[in-house]
Chain A
Amino acid sequence: MSEPQQPDNSIRPEVKDQQTPSQIAAALQRQHPEWVSEVIEALGEATIIVPRERIAEVCEWLKTSPDHEFNFLSDVCGFDRGPEEEPRFEVNYHLFSTTKHHRLRLKVLLNEEDVHVPTVTGVWRTANWHERETYDLFGVIFDGHPDLRRILLPDDWQGHALRKDFPLRGYEPYSLT
């Protein structure tokens, strides 16, 4: 790993204590090594792969830790690598700090047989709809979610539309082609 570069504060000079993603990843690895499976660095971004059972704890720590203050969850999204891949599914969490202006990506890997993830709605309430969307389109079950219903597709829909093995025109009788 190369020397962590210093964050560029030229755009918002009033923002203090901004850290690069690799600095945050290093801090997390130093303080809680059991929470970090792997750190992937590319293009100035860091992706932390987190064990599935730990994701809510990691998010809670990153939000409350005074060094990081990730008070904003930009995005939760799913990803399907394809039915032949193992692990097949990813859930990505994009975090942002409105006070310190740094960003981080967390990633959870899931096998097809067991697509369960603990919910992070207890950390950020905005995760509610993001997780519903991920459930709707990928079929990932968020354990502990207060209201895990479909959000985009009709309530009586069969299947999960963004999975790689979902037919483009859908299943009968919904295809209407």
Chain B
Amino acid sequence: MGLENVIAEALPEILTTRLDSLINWARKSSLWPATFGLACCAIEMMNVTSSRNDLARFGAEVFRASPRQADVMIVSGRVSRKMAPVLRRIYDQMPEPKWVISMGACATSGGVFDNYAIVQGVDKVVPVDVYIPGCPPRPEMLIHAVMMLQEKVMKESVRDRRDAPDAEAREAITPGTLPITDGSTLREPRKDQPLPYTIASTHEKRRSF
């Protein structure tokens, strides 16, 4: 995102703690989720915005169908191998800053679907900030996850989310390869085989270790 780069370049040696808390407060107060309903958890996700549960109390009720306008991707349901590249592309289309909530047992670990068709945890595809257990989780648990994410947002620094250097970014992206990462290639790059398609932003690298 532009703001982080500008601050990092213009004020390389200035502590930005007060600015951080202002920006983070603005960000956490209006988290816009991207709808990524994949299975039965999506029913509970829809219920969260209903009058009974009312996620609007915490500023996260504006579900956006376009990833360009979203901050949080709530992965609700099991991610199939065929859906994984799509999910990764949606994530890549979201502008920084962005966060991911893995909702339910299937998105978190594959759940009962321990087979060839289902990705065993969405964190193999995108970095996850908050995991929710349950099958499906109750709406209160999703609200709790949003509130935990808000706490996490308040602890961030704007410097964390500046873009990776160009050389690093070019190395990390290999067109045509599967947009799947298990984190191992980030730890020790394997030269003999193509790298998985990983996004080149500093915050993902930081969180993937």
Inter-subunit contact B82/A154 (CB<8 Å): yes
Q: Which residue of A lies closest to B118 (CB)?
A: A176
A176 and B120 contact, Cβ closer than 8 Å, known pairs A168-B115, A169-B114, A169-B115:
yes
A166 and B116 contact, Cβ closer than 8 Å, known pairs A173-B178, A176-B180, A176-B182:
yes
Q: Is A31 an interface residue (CB 8 A)?
A: no
Q: Which residue of A lies closest to B124 (CB)?
A: A176
Q: Which 10 pairs show the lowest CB-CB distances between chains A and B?
A: A170-B116, A154-B82, A177-B120, A176-B119, A168-B115, A176-B124, A176-B120, A169-B116, A161-B116, A154-B81
In the complex, what residues of B have CB within 8 A of residue A153's CB? 81-82, 117
User: In the bound complex, what is the Cα–Cα distance between A161 and B182 (angstroms)?
Assistant: 23
User: In the bound complex, what is the Cα–Cα distance between A125 and B119 (angstroms)?
Assistant: 34
Q: Could you give, for residues 139-177 of chain A, a 1 whenever the CB lies within 8 Å of some chain B CB and a 0 otherwise?
A: 000000000000011100000010000111110011111
In the complex, what residues of B have CB within 8 A of residue A169's CB? 114-116
| Residue of A152, A168, A177 ringed by the most chain B CB atoms within 10 A | A177
Number of interface residues of A (CB under 8 A): 14
Please, could you name 8 A-B residue pairs with CB atoms under 8 Å apart, sorted by A?
A: A153-B81, A153-B117, A161-B117, A170-B115, A175-B116, A176-B119, A176-B120, A177-B114
Inter-subunit contact B81/A176 (CB<8 Å): yes
Q: Could you give, for residues 4-48 of chain B, a 1 whenever the CB lies within 8 Å of some chain A CB and a 0 otherwise?
A: 000000000000000000000000000000000000000000000
In the complex, what residues of B have CB within 8 A of residue A173's CB? 178, 180
Number of A-B contacts (CB under 8 A): 33
Inter-subunit contact B116/A167 (CB<8 Å): yes
Number of interface residues of B (CB under 8 A): 12
In the complex, what residues of B have CB within 8 A of residue A167's CB? 116
B: which residues have CB within 8 A of A? 81-82, 114-117, 119-120, 124, 178, 180, 182
User: In the bound complex, what is the Cα–Cα distance between A153 and B81 (angstroms)?
Assistant: 8
In the complex, what residues of A have CB within 8 A of residue B117's CB? 153, 161, 170
Q: How far is the CB of B157 from chain A (nearest CB, A)?
A: 33
In the complex, what residues of B have CB within 8 A of residue A175's CB? 116
In the complex, what residues of B have CB within 8 A of residue A170's CB? 81, 115-117
Q: Which residue of B lies closest to A155 (CB)?
A: B82
In the complex, what residues of B have CB within 8 A of residue A154's CB? 81-82
Q: Which residue of A lies closest to B85 (CB)?
A: A154
User: In the bound complex, what is the Cα–Cα distance between A152 and B180 (angstroms)?
Assistant: 19
In the complex, what residues of A have CB within 8 A of residue B81's CB? 153-154, 170, 174, 176
Q: How far is the CB of B194 from chain A (nearest CB, A)?
A: 11
In the complex, what residues of B have CB within 8 A of residue A174's CB? 81, 116
| Residue of B116, B117, B124, B178 ringed by the most chain A CB atoms within 10 A | B116
User: In the bound complex, what is the Cα–Cα distance between A152 and B38 (angstroms)?
Assistant: 16
In the complex, what residues of B have CB within 8 A of residue A177's CB? 114, 120
Q: A168-B114, A170-B116, A173-B180 are in contact. List 20 more A-B contacts (CB 8 A).
A: A152-B82, A153-B82, A153-B117, A154-B82, A161-B116, A161-B117, A166-B116, A167-B116, A168-B116, A170-B81, A170-B115, A170-B117, A173-B178, A174-B81, A174-B116, A176-B81, A176-B119, A176-B120, A176-B182, A177-B114
